[in-house]
Amino acid sequence: MRRVGRIAAVYRAVDGASAVSAPQHRMSTAAHFSSSSNKSYAKSNWLFNNLLTDLSARTAAAHAVAGTMLFSVAATTLTEEVHAKVAVPPELRPKDLVLYQYEACPFCNKVKAFLDYYDLPYKVIEVNPISKKELKWSDYKKVPVVVVDGEQMVNSSDIIDQLYKKVRSADSTFDANEESKWRKWVDDHLVHMLSPNIYRSTSEALESFDYITTHGNFSFTERITAKYAGAAAMYFVSKKLKKKYNITDERAALYEAAETWVDALKGRDFLGGSNPNLADLAVFGVLRPIRYLKSGKDMVENTRIGDWYSRMESAVGSARIQA
């Protein structure tokens, strides 16, 4: 259990995982990544104090992955129905956009969903969760971090808000009440359902960490250590999170959240109507990392969310370019 506390503490390396002063950090997704509502998210990390200072390099790998990466499998499949992307006027498009991220981070995926849908070409810098050397130039060490034409932006929801204001046309409607309500729901509720599900059993924890360590920026030694030590640690941490968020049956809670979202659509293709809005992109971005893990497959098989998710995969696509 001592190791669990240490691994959990590294959540502070992620946007929203623990910075009490940042309004975005309130989420505690599986590994408590970055989020837009920091205060409640920081509280969820009450187990996670004082990590890495006394850890060996090998143990640190597992600890960092547990605190910086979540799970994921952002696999995207095309569907027969195609929804057109939003065309951003050339004069509003950033000339240079770089995203510093962890591939498995749901909040990084939330930002990527926005960039992909608005077809804003971006380069990705995968950050090593141990050394964070890729962020040595920045005083801010959590992810996601976006640099747009030399301007640094942090905190996933804040990044999206700032970029949307830059690229939207003058006559577009920004952040309508319904859209704001459901974006907040993503950060205040939906993300809390993820960690107890992807680490529900030892086999699911290993599945999650296998993806994390395979797609993250780790050395061979860090990868092996993190996979097994991290999976074991997060299995126990997930039980603490269930208790904290009053979750009795984690799968039932995930299914209920999925059904709640489908009900909010009210028969529409998207919450935004014929095209996704920022709330659609937020839900999709957060769920994308778990979609092809066992928990995500179970969610699609046992709820009505599958059709909406397939439409989102088709609509969002990818605007990522090689760094």
Residue 42 lies in a domain: no
Q: What is the pLDDT of residue 169?
A: 62
Which residue in the list 41, 102, 118, 270 is annotated as catalytic?
Answer: 102
Angle subtended by helix axes 278-287 and 106-117, to nearest 10: 130
> Of 33, 41, 107, 218, which is the active-site residue?
107
- Asked whether residue 169 is domain-assigned, the answer is yes
Structural domain for 248, as ranges: 88-314
Q: Which two tokens stand for residue 149?
A: 């034409």
Helical axes 177-188 vs 278-287, angle rounded to 10°: 20
pLDDT of amino acid 182: 97
Quote the pLDDT of residue 84. 58
Note if the bond before 144 is cis, omega within 30 degrees.
yes
Domain count, the chain: 1
- What stretch of H or E contains 147? strand 145-148
DSSP 173: -
The answer to whether position 216 is within a domain reads yes
In this prediction, residue 41 carries a pLDDT of 41
Q: What is the pTM of this model?
A: 0.75
Token duo for residue 28: 């505690």
**Residue 303 sits in a domain of what CATH number?**
1.20.1050.10
| Known catalytic membership, residue 105 | yes
- For the chain, the 3-state helix, strand and coil shares in percent, each to the nearest 5, are 55, 5, 40
**DSSP 8-state class, residue 70:** -
According to the model, what pLDDT value does residue 238 have? 93
Q: What is the pLDDT along the chain (323 residues), one digit of tens a residue?
A: 444 444 443 444 444 443 333 334 333 333 444 444 444 444 444 333 333 333 344 444 444 444 444 443 333 333 334 455 777 888 899 999 999 999 888 999 999 999 999 999 999 999 998 899 999 999 999 999 999 999 999 999 999 999 999 888 654 555 589 999 999 999 999 999 999 999 999 999 999 999 888 888 888 888 888 889 989 999 999 999 999 999 999 999 999 999 999 999 999 999 999 999 999 999 999 999 999 999 999 999 999 999 999 999 999 998 888 75
The reply to whether 21 falls in a domain is: no
Assigned domain for 68 exists: no
What does the pLDDT read at residue 159? Answer: 97
Note every long-range contact of 84-88, with CB atoms under 8 Å and residues 24 or more positions apart, other chains counting.
Answer: 84/275, 84/315, 85/117, 85/118, 85/119, 85/315, 85/317, 86/117, 86/118, 86/119, 86/275, 87/119, 88/118, 88/119, 88/120, 88/167
Q: Letter for the amino acid at 91?
A: E
Q: Could you tell me if residue 187 is inside a domain?
A: yes
Verify whether residue 209 is a known catalytic residue.
Answer: no
Q: Answer yes or no: is 79 within a domain.
A: no
Query: Which pLDDT value is given to residue 25?
Result: 38
Q: Which of 11, 41, 105, 117 is catalytic?
A: 105
DSSP state of 86: P
The per-residue pLDDT for 90 is 87
Given this model, what pLDDT does residue 213 score? 87
Confidence (pLDDT) at 127: 95
Q: Is residue 62 part of a domain?
A: no
Of 100, 108, 209, 211, the active-site residue reads 108
